Amino acid sequence: MQKPQLRIGVSGHQQLGDRVTLDFVREQFRALLHSYQQQGCDLVLYAALAMGADQLFVQTALEEGIPFEAVIPCASYEAIFPSADSCEVYQQLLHHAQALRQLPADACSDDAYLAAGEWLVDHCDLIILAWNGLPPKGGGGTGDVASYARLRKRPFIHIHTLQRTVKNYGVFFPETASKPALSVKREFAIAEQVVYQGSTITVRQYHLRMPNGKEVLRDIVERPESVLILPVAYQEMILLVEEYDLGAGVWQLKLPGGKVQGATPEALENQAQQELQQEIGYRAGKLERLLDVHSHPGYIAHKVHLFVGYDLEWDPLEMEAQEEIRVRTYTLQEALAETLIDYRCDPEAALALWIFAHRSRITGLQA
């Protein structure tokens, strides 16, 4: 009878700690490998062969006669090793690999290392992480691998390098290793219906069948697309509107804007000008696209087009009869400070202000 194959990936710190910690991690690697061998599993191991945890895991496996496959994150990977000796150790281990998985990234970068960690999660039945349990200091760290394994519902074992403990996350049975669960996606819908239709919003209910056969119901609130404008006057003075939000039950600072009448670039700009003239009384001499976002995704379908309006000049249109809007003028720093007050700004206004401030700072540094 053929043994069940168990694919194990490893990730961890390049600097594991002192000799006591190094010995602890090595013995945990050895104990785990023995445990799965005793359960009758045919082990296949995967590692990126970075210094530290990767190499220690592979060296331990080779001592036990267990094969491994090398997962190389990027071209010229050997260039990341800081010395001739460390590069030689890498080449020696690479020579013992029974297979080589070269990932497509050309440059060795945080993104390439993250892609390698995610590859391990996606292609292995179990992940072993030798990790201090702290957030990563840069993209692609071991903490990111743990987060991705959690997202993909992939079981992993945390060898804690600070506490010198071992903890299992997720239920894992070698004889029934399965693929991770998938998120709820619209393409799983087998039926849908409108359960509410109002003058502004629609509530659509989706009946979804997941790949595991489970059926779920999801309600999505659909809103018309919106255009919102951040009005910027001389020397980055910001004009915001203050309006009562019936749903929130509070007065909030917002951006002038409204429902989109047409989604073409020209129609969006015309709509933006009209909203500015109606709500704050000014026309923009120049409109600049800031960002398109999905507002409150997950339970609301609502696209928002954010613009910045410059070179403002008084040219008001009649305000809609039901609107009660007060225009507030702030310096950029004062407006940013308002976003830090509980319930003071709506999310789109806060987002636009901080993106604008970031871009202004970058532009200032480049000037």
Look at residue 54 and tell me whether its pLDDT is greater than 50. Answer: yes
CATH annotation of 5-176: 3.40.50.450
Contact present, 157 and 169 (Cβ < 8 Å): yes
- Per DSSP, the chain holds a count of helices (H) and strands (E) of 8, 18
pLDDT at 4 over 70: yes
> Which pLDDT tens digit goes with each residue over 183-219?
667 677 888 899 999 988 999 998 888 777 788 888 9
pLDDT band at 40 (very low <50, low <70, confident <90, very high): confident
Residue 104 pLDDT exceeds 70: yes
Residue type for position 93: L
* Domain boundaries of the chain, sorted by first residue: 5-176, 186-222, 226-366
Contact 295, 221 (CB under 8 A): no
Chain-wide mean pLDDT for the chain? 90
Q: Is 177's pLDDT higher than 50? A: no
Distance CA 129, CA 166 (A): 10
For residues 32 and 74, give the distance between their C-alpha atoms in angstroms, rounded to a whole number. 29
pLDDT in the model for residue 296:
78
CATH class of domain segment(s) 226-366: alpha beta
- The residue type of 64 is E
Q: How far apart are CA 116 and CA 193, in angstroms?
A: 41
Contact in structure between 272 and 311 (CB atoms under 8 Å):
no
